[in-house]
Amino acid sequence: MNYQKILEEIKKEIKPLFKDGKVADYIPALKRVKPTHFAMSLQLFNGATYSVGEENCKFSIQSISKVFTYAMALPIYKKEIYKRINHEPSGNPFNSLVQLEYENGIPRNPFINAGAIVITDMLESVYKGKTFSKILEYIKEVSDNNEIDYDKEVALSESQFGFRNIALVNMMKSFTNISNDTTKVMDIYFKQCSISMSTKELSRAVLYLANHGVDPITKKRFLNESQAKRLNSLMLTCGHYDASGDFAFRVGLPGKSGVGGGIVAIVPNLMSICVWSPKLNDKGNSLVGTKALELFTTKTRLSIF
């Protein structure tokens, strides 16, 4: 298959959509991004890569970080994880408080904010003060790349304007589902959301998820088969908040979005993909990015369905 030609076609076809959607504006540091950025990268098992657009331009990975922290926690906590976080779609926005109250502080899944905050808390119980550097270390290892860091301005903006996230952590603390100091946990969570990566780097970073937990290039194992299966199935059912069904319907791949406009997606046993375009649809997922992935699976027939 001529992947490069397909990517070039997609780049042309998505152009009319740049007028739609809205850049994330819940924090000032994200509002400033140029709305017409676009990049899409494919990473194959044999090491081949294909890209269009600004493949090396770093952006805020935001909720895509939830994939990495969940992947770190799974081998440590195993089934214990499900005592504190469920594995069902939420059908609610990423930062919803309502459901959490009804469900006694147990988040629906690890890919909504509340669930990711519990995971960060669980990691802090293990790494005690070193959690954020461990998260960065993990992402560098799965990416096979040392050039990854976080954006301090975005992290500061997250903590200055993160009122809802702070409400979430406090509510969960009141239900005893947070063990560590809430300020400490949120400092890590805000930093992990502020990690900056390019589409080329992110597509490389999630390659092991397309290969049952083993990086097909370095041969390092990060998850066992069962853990990789569970993580991918959660990306399929919960990776796009209350638009997860729509993403499965249109794209048909496990994927995870972030409000920075990035989306990672997995084609099992073949490749990993990352697309980035900052304007979001009304559910907080990249509008052009979702369309680009939809075009990709239509043109290549690589949807899992």
| Cβ at position 60, least distance to ligand GLU in Å | 8
* Cβ-contact 52, 8 below 8 angstroms: yes
290 is a site residue for ligand GLU (CB under 6 A): no
Burial class, 116, CB count within 10 angstroms (exposed 0-12 / middle 13-18 / buried 19+): buried
Give the pair of three-digit tokens for residue 131: 């959690």
* The residue to which tokens 């006694």 are assigned: 104
State the binding string over 266-285 for ligand GLU (x if CB under 6 A, else -).
------------------x-
The Cα 144–Cα 154 span in angstroms is 24
Number of shown-chain residues binding ligand GLU (CB under 6 A)? 11
| Footprint on residues 180-219 left by ligand GLU (CB under 6 A) | 193
The Cα 230–Cα 189 span in angstroms is 22
| Cβ at position 187, least distance to ligand GLU in Å | 13
Burial code of 232-261, b = ≥16 C-beta within 10 A, e = fewer? bebbbbbbbbbbbeebbebbbbbbbbbbbb
State the binding string over 64-103 for ligand GLU (x if CB under 6 A, else -).
------------------------------xx--------
| Cβ at position 167, least distance to ligand GLU in Å | 11
| Footprint on residues 213-272 left by ligand GLU (CB under 6 A) | 258-259
Let me know the angle formed at the C-alpha of 268 by 262 and 50, rounded to the nearest 5 degrees.
Answer: 55
Burial class, 9, CB count within 10 angstroms (exposed 0-12 / middle 13-18 / buried 19+): middle
Residue with smaller CB distance to ligand GLU, 148 or 168:
168
The Cα 150–Cα 266 span in angstroms is 24
Residue with smaller CB distance to ligand GLU, 64 or 267:
64
State the binding string over 32-71 for ligand GLU (x if CB under 6 A, else -).
------------------------------xx--------
Taking CA atoms, 267 is separated from 21, 109, 127, in Å, by: 27, 22, 32
State the binding string over 133-172 for ligand GLU (x if CB under 6 A, else -).
-------------------------x------x-------
| Cβ at position 139, least distance to ligand GLU in Å | 16
Residues that bind ligand GLU (CB under 6 A): 62-63, 94-95, 113, 158, 165, 193, 258-259, 284
